[in-house]
Structure 1
Amino acid sequence: MTAITGKVQEALDWSVAELGVTGIVAHVQDENGNWFGSAGVADTQTGRRREPADRFHAGSCGKAYTSAAVLQLAAEGTLSMDDTVEQWLPGVVGGNGNDGSKITIRHLITHTSGLGVTGWDRDVVRRFHTRAGWAENSRYVWTVDELLNVQMSQPPIFEPGESFAYTNGGYYLAGAIIEKATGRSYEKELERTVIQPLGLTGTYARPLSEVGFRGQHTRAYSRMFIKDGVDPAILTTENYESHLQGPDTDPVDVTESTTFGWAAGGVMSTTGDMLRFTRAMIEGTLLPPAQHREMWATVPTRDWIPSTRYGTGVSQWTLADGSVLHAVCGMANGSAAVTMGTPDGRRLVSMNTNCDWSWFQAFDRVIEAAFGSPYLPPQ
């Protein structure tokens, strides 16, 4: 253990003792090699410790995988980033002011499409973000058409290219375009273009119909449920945390469920695989030079993680000391995952909590330990 990894281990222990996270891991890769540390448990029933082979739901880290697949298809000449949604999916993006002829594939995967934010759709909140709704619908199997219909029920919030708004719908459309352009399923195309070339043996894209995890995995625990009696119509990105049930509530084991992440966040992975993937994204060893530059052509974010810029599924985070890290990040029900590294790829850290509360504070402490500065707090 080096001085840095010793500090990282202290941060992990602190996260369990002071923040009450169920389990947390950090996998460090630098000039000293690989180091894996953990605190807490993978399973509250058995008390099993977290292990490097444990799969977890990587949440919106899957957007970086989807973007890499799209960029590979662009490199192969199958599609162009300037193609419109209407060219590939005629008539799909329409109604409520939505116009697929104005939105390009680039807009979709940089969150600059102007599509409305669907996270607070009333029906979705009632069915999946309340305890009662979750108990009834945790194994509901979504279809891609249903996911797109939820998106189309929302009007756009700005003209394509004018601003930034983080929305899963853009990635659902990107996944549908991947399938239309290749004639193969999204999952198989992700395997062909990203997972196999990088040798990611612990990673796969989970189909919408699949329940739970394959192979060795953590249990996933959630407290991110809206309080009883809250009208979903009042929820916004700014106020939703104030309407969540508190830390005194018992967590729910959400492991054996389906996911509606799909192309917006349906990747299951390990810290080791996330390190390999993120290093390839930083160093440009998977994508050709033109597509690598496209991936990191970032735009400023709004109403997302503060002090960040977003590329295509990847982001840049500015720390308190002004240094910048390149990151792949995501959150899912019962899981939070961030893998980040220096722009030269000399040091990377992959983190995961198998719970969905207090992860930001926990990761911030690990970031400070690993990179010498905490993340810049919201202004």
Structure 2
Amino acid sequence: MGAAALLVSAVLAAPASAAGGIGGDGLAGGGHAATRKAVEAAVTAGVPGATATARDTHGTWSTTAGVGDLRTGEPRSAADRYRVASITKTFVATVLLQLEAEHRLSLDDTVAKWLPGLVHGNGNDGSRVTVRQLLNHTSGIPDYLADTGFRRAYFTPDGFYAHRHDTVTAHDLVAIAMRHQPDFAPGTSWNYSNTNYVVAGLVIEKVTGHSYATEIEHRVIRPLRLTATSVPGTRTTLPRPSSRAYSKFANPSGPTYDVTELNPSIASSAGEMISDSADLDRFYGALLGGELLPPRQLKEMKTTVASRIAPNIRYGLGLMDTRLTCGVHVWGHTGGIHGSASEAATSENGRHSVAVNLNGDWTGDTGAVVRGEFC
């Protein structure tokens, strides 16, 4: 399944493709020619533009195709900043696992221990949900993105343009989810829920006394010198260099809308971050290479459960483990938000990574780019 096809129906959730996994150093794949072909194919399929960067022991390589601005025809750039959506989840999980390594919390702590009364009502009970279950989506907490009113407000053209500058708090998002009954009893099944990571961000704030954004900045962005990466909060614009972002609001044959400007608070700690492909390669390479977590915490992150994304994808703690069609595994995450489809993947040892972004949300296959790079 292609990345962009899922976006408007599951924005932020956006497991964008059936790509991914572990195994080997990942350096004996099909090479950059296949990667370039897959990037160009995304544009041929109808997405305005694509940008991808790969990194391995031989260095860094980038390719682009199509345009970043339909009005001016300006091409996409390898240095484009873009909204990475659910790739944010890996950053959030990394911070929580660092806090566990510092003995400041346990993955088996309940949500109610840190945030009493937040998850309650309609059968939801934070005293039965653990931090681990938030991170691997086994909590049963409903996804606020599934709420009909929320979707009407942000995922229809009229609603989006009326509300795209609104600020929504993390507590607002959780309250929307609490209008609904749990998807299942905690620990008994699996369902991707963005609410899990909104709650996880609030846990970070409670434990540290700082926002999740501040902790990501101090613990990940600055140490790794991720100069293109940011947690924008309520900033509605993208930093330069960047491309415009386009949506068809789930109507592939309909008009194309410029959705570049939006208040990312609707994604909160489930998906508000901005980055570029080179920074994502650096982040996932450092994470899998053991630079950000002690061995025990990295093992926890890589302990996976079966997911409903695809038969070849298992989910760890903010990290997807996917077996590619060629049998290679890579680790990473996907992300989709209005006008943006992204995917980042790396080999198990972190020495070979690729990250790709499409600036349209109705077609194109980011997974094909990953397969081109690793297979």
Tell me the TM-score normalized by structure 1. 0.88
Match of 2:3 in 1: none
Query: 1:210 is matched by which residue type in structure 2?
Result: R
Match of 2:336 in 1: 331
Paired residues of 1:206 and 1:262 also in contact (CA < 8 A): no
Q: Distance in 1 between matches of 2:30 and 2:119?
A: 53
**Structure 1 residue 213 and structure 2 residue 219: aligned?**
no
**Percent of aligned positions that are identical:** 38
Q: Distance in 2 between matches of 1:3 and 1:217?
A: 29
**Structure 1 residue 274 and structure 2 residue 280: aligned?**
yes
Compute the displacement of 1:94 (Å).
0.8
Q: Distance in 2 between matches of 1:117 and 1:189?
A: 24
Match of 1:149 in 2: 175
Q: Distance in 2 between matches of 1:75 and 1:26?
A: 33
Q: Distance in 1 between matches of 2:176 and 2:236?
A: 22
**Structure 1 residue 315 and structure 2 residue 324: aligned?**
no
Match of 2:24 in 1: none
Match of 2:64 in 1: 38
Q: 1:298 aligns with which of 299, 304, 309?
A: 304
Q: 1:248 aligns with which of 253, 256, 267?
A: 253
RMSD: 1.6
Q: Distance in 2 between matches of 1:187 and 1:60?
A: 15
**Structure 1 residue 100 and structure 2 residue 105: aligned?**
no
Compute the displacement of 1:322 (Å).
2.6
Query: 1:153 is matched by which residue type in structure 2?
Result: R
Deviations 1:119-173 (A, max 9, x none): 2211011111111111211111101221110111111122211111100111111
Q: Distance in 1 between matches of 2:289 and 2:97?
A: 15
Q: Distance in 1 between matches of 2:190 and 2:346?
A: 24
Deviations 1:336-379 (A, max 9, x none): 111112223342211110111223xx32332332222xxxxxxx
Deviations 1:240-267 (A, max 9, x none): xxxx31x221211111111211110111
Deviates more, 1:362-371 or 1:118-127: 362-371
Paired residues of 1:58 and 1:269 also in contact (CA < 8 A): yes
Match of 1:169 in 2: 195
Q: 2:226 aligns with which of 194, 200, 203?
A: 200
- Structure 2, gaps ≥5 residues long: 1-28
Tell me the TM-score normalized by structure 2. 0.89
Paired residues of 1:198 and 1:276 also in contact (CA < 8 A): yes
**Structure 1 residue 367 and structure 2 residue 370: aligned?**
yes
Match of 2:82 in 1: 56
Q: 1:265 aligns with which of 264, 271, 284?
A: 271
When the two structures are aligned, how many residues end up with a matched partner? 346
Query: 2:67 is matched by which residue type in structure 1?
Result: V
Paired residues of 2:95 and 2:219 also in contact (CA < 8 A): yes
Deviations 1:62-101 (A, max 9, x none): 0000000111111122211111111111111111001111
Q: Distance in 2 between matches of 1:290 and 1:15?
A: 39
Q: SS of 2:371's equivalent?
A: helix
Deviations 1:16-62 (A, max 9, x none): 12x11111112111233211000001111222222222110001000
Q: Distance in 2 between matches of 1:3 and 1:76?
A: 41
Deviations 1:172-209 (A, max 9, x none): 111111111111122111111211121111101121x2
Paired residues of 1:111 and 1:167 also in contact (CA < 8 A): yes
Q: SS of 2:146's equivalent?
A: coil
Paired residues of 1:39 and 1:50 also in contact (CA < 8 A): yes
Compute the displacement of 1:13 (Å).
1.9
Deviates more, 1:177-186 or 1:60-69: 177-186
Query: 1:317 is matched by which residue type in structure 2?
Result: T
Match of 1:240 in 2: none
Query: 2:239 is matched by which residue type in structure 1?
Result: R
Q: Distance in 1 between matches of 2:182 and 2:359?
A: 34
Q: SS of 1:119's equivalent?
A: helix
Deviates more, 1:106-115 or 1:313-322: 313-322
**Structure 1 residue 132 and structure 2 residue 158: aligned?**
yes
Compute the displacement of 1:5 (Å).
1.6
Q: 2:41 aligns with which of 14, 25, 38?
A: 14
Q: Distance in 2 between matches of 1:111 and 1:26?
A: 28
Paired residues of 2:286 and 2:350 also in contact (CA < 8 A): no
